[in-house]
Amino acid sequence: MADVTDTASADTVPQTLNSAAWGVGLATIVNGDSEDSVLDTWFPAGQLGVGAPPWLNQREADSQLAKLPAEATRPDPIRGVHTRWICVVIQSLAAPPSGISDAYLRLHLLSHRLVRPHGLNTDGIFEQLPNVAWTSAGPCAIDQLNVAQLRARRAGSWLHVRGVDKFPQMLDYVVPRGVRVADAARVRLGAHLAPGTTVMHEGFVNFNAGTLGSSMVEGRISAGVVVGDRSDIGGGASIMGTLSGGGAEVISIGEDCLLGANSGVGISLGNGCVVEAGCYITAGAKVTVRAAVSAHGRSYETGSVLRAQELSNADGLLFWRHSVTGALEVSGRAGNWGGLNTQLHTAQ
């Protein structure tokens, strides 16, 4: 198999929406051997990639599978599952997922940083992925969980259930180089964490979302959200994603931005923006201009009142809530808010 590293930076990973992709993975299967019986599929580093697969036909694929360690395919009588090596080829990442293992390959491509967020199609992925009990022994079918727990206790062990969800935690499948994650349960498989990223205990990163450079994540990066280099998502801060309410607009945070503690945005921020702690900006919120600002070729004079959406993606803005009137206000800003602590993000 061709070797693939996981050290590509955001600057070197192209948008690959029209590319093919491939992977050789270990599928966990319950109640038979069909695609519908797959609980998860793990694609180890070096066994997946973007572009044409390294094999040319099924015979070559079978030959490659035969070289993989057979001991990894032993059945687990406690969970009632078995595993087997499989080959998955996606003809075009622009097409939606076509099955469980296809969906897992896409999530791995994102977390291995072989594809940027929005560099592949994830439409309908919730319908493709089964709801699974994630246990200390691995994935377990929900309708088999009580039986599995009983079998474990009879064997003198304990089956710890860490969650019931469609997505597992990323670090059980992919550990990208150059990042720190304080709480593994807070980062879903399919998150894209660039080198230099730190996710603290209360930080959260969803699938098809993440960072494109060194970032501090102490708040929530929702599905579809992308955060630029040298930006800080403060403790308890929230960025609206594309899942709740069926929203389609992609929210992004530019470079050198700061979201203060317990702040939030429902608009995109350009580069060099700051949102005051506790200040939440929704797209339809009315914002008063306190010092003239420019956005998208338009100038807004002091005293102007406009919808926050009109400032989406604009650079160099400072948002705050007036401590007396409670009104949302904005002005232009210059200079540095302090920046990331380089010791925390370069010595990974």
CA gyration radius, the chain: 23
Tell the burial category of 99 from Cβ atoms under 10 Å away from its Cβ (0-12, 13-18, 19+).
Answer: middle
Catalytic residues: 218
Distance (Å, rounded) from C-alpha 160 to C-alpha 135?
A: 5
SS3 string, the chain, reads: CCCCCCCCCCCCCCCCCCCCEEEEEEEEEECCCCHHHEEEEECCCCCEEECCCCCCCHHHHHHHHHCCCHHHHCCECCCCEEEEEEEEEECCCCCCCCCHHHHHHHHHHHHCCCCCCCCCCCCCHHHHCCCEEEECCEEEEHHHHHHHHHHHHHCCCCCCEEEEECCCEHHHCCCCCCCEECCHHHEECCEECCCCCEECCCCEECCCEEECCCEEECCEECCCCEECCCEEECCCCEECCCCHHHCCCCCEECCCCEECCCCEECCCECCCCEECCCCEECCCCEEEECCCEEECCEEECCCCEEEHHHHCCCCCEEEEECCCCCCEEEEECCCCCCCCCHHHHHCC
* Strand-pair category, 280-281 with 258-259: unpaired
